Amino acid sequence: MEEKNTQSRKFWSGLVTGLLLAILIMGTAFLVKQLSVIRAMKQSGKDVSEADQLVNSFTTTKMGVLEDTIRQYYLEEVDQATLENGVYEGIVDSLKDPYSVYYSTEALEEINQKTEGIYYGIGAYITRDPQSDYCMISGVIANTPAQEAGLQQDDVIYKIDGEDVIGLETSELVTKIKGEEGTIVHMTIVRRATNETLEFDVERRKIESPTVESSMEEDGIGYIQITEFDDVTEDQFAEALAVCKESGMKGLILDLRSNPGGNLNTVCEICRMLLPKGLIVYTEDKYGKRDEYSCEGDRQLEVPLVVLVNGYSASASEILAGAVKDYGIGTIMGTTTFGKGIVQRIISLSDGSAVKLTVSKYYTPKGNNIHGIGIEPDIMVEFDAEKYNEEDFDNQLEAAKEELRKQMGN
Positions marked catalytic? 315, 340, 344
In angstroms, the CA 278 to CA 130 distance is 34
- Could you tell me whether strands 290-295 and 196-203 are parallel, antiparallel, or unpaired per DSSP bridges? unpaired
In angstroms, the CA 55 to CA 187 distance is 41
Q: With contact defined as beta carbons under 8 Å apart, do 111 and 171 qualify?
A: yes
From 172, 128, 165, 349, select the one nearest 260 (Cα to Cα).
128
363: left (phi over 0), alpha (psi -120 to 50) or beta: beta
Measured in degrees and rounded to the nearest 5, phi and psi for residue 281 equal -165, 155
Q: With contact defined as beta carbons under 8 Å apart, do 408 and 251 qualify?
A: yes
In angstroms, the CA 322 to CA 337 distance is 10
In angstroms, the CA 146 to CA 125 distance is 10
Element (H, E) at 332: strand 331-334
Q: With contact defined as beta carbons under 8 Å apart, do 45 and 62 qualify?
A: no
In Å, how far from its chain's centre is CA 378? 25
Alpha helix ranges (H) inside 247-364: 264-271, 316-327
Q: Which residues contact residue 399 at a Cβ distance below 8 angstroms, ignoring those fewer than 6 apart? A: 333, 379, 381
**Cβ count within 10 A of residue 375:** 26
Q: Is the dihedral of CA 234, 209, 359, 371 positive or negative?
A: positive
**Cβ count within 10 A of residue 345:** 13
